[in-house]
Copies of this chain bind each other. A is one copy, B any other.
């Protein structure tokens, strides 16, 4: 294959993710939602399964535990989630949505869905699927190479 080094930038971690993140943040602000894309990615898990552990949130969003700690700090400051220690294992803290956390699900989900629709407008569905599969394969290829998240943890 004709390898061009700059592809890895333009292609995977470059301007497209930067722009998507920027637009999504602006769209949240338009709807008076004071959350970030990263915070949303945790909330999205909690809306589906309230009471995850921090470890679980990290494994599923592929973030370092330190990042999870800090994202939850912000969410807790805004009274969107609370951390509840596990009585059986006092190292563990379960993360629960507050009433406020539950109440923003509908609006936030709508913003994300509309932004996503806009992002993929006019692109044939099968191409979007291929793109997703390629990115997932890239993930698998690199995850083998020594990261502490194993495939089974993230699955």
Q: How many copies does the complex hold?
A: 2
Q: Count of chain A residues with Cβ under 8 Å from any Cβ of B?
A: 60
User: With A and B bound together, what is the CA distance between A130 and B131 in angstroms?
Assistant: 7
Whether B123 pairs with A134 at a CB distance below 8 angstroms is yes
Q: Report if A89 contacts B (CB, 8 A).
A: no
Q: Report if A138 contacts B (CB, 8 A).
A: yes
User: With A and B bound together, what is the CA distance between A141 and B118 in angstroms?
Assistant: 7
Whether B5 pairs with A112 at a CB distance below 8 angstroms is yes
**How many whole Å from A89's CB to the nearest CB in chain B?**
27
User: With A and B bound together, what is the CA distance between A70 and B146 in angstroms?
Assistant: 31
Identify the 3 closest CB pairs spanning chains A and B, nearest first.
Answer: A15-B62, A131-B134, A8-B116
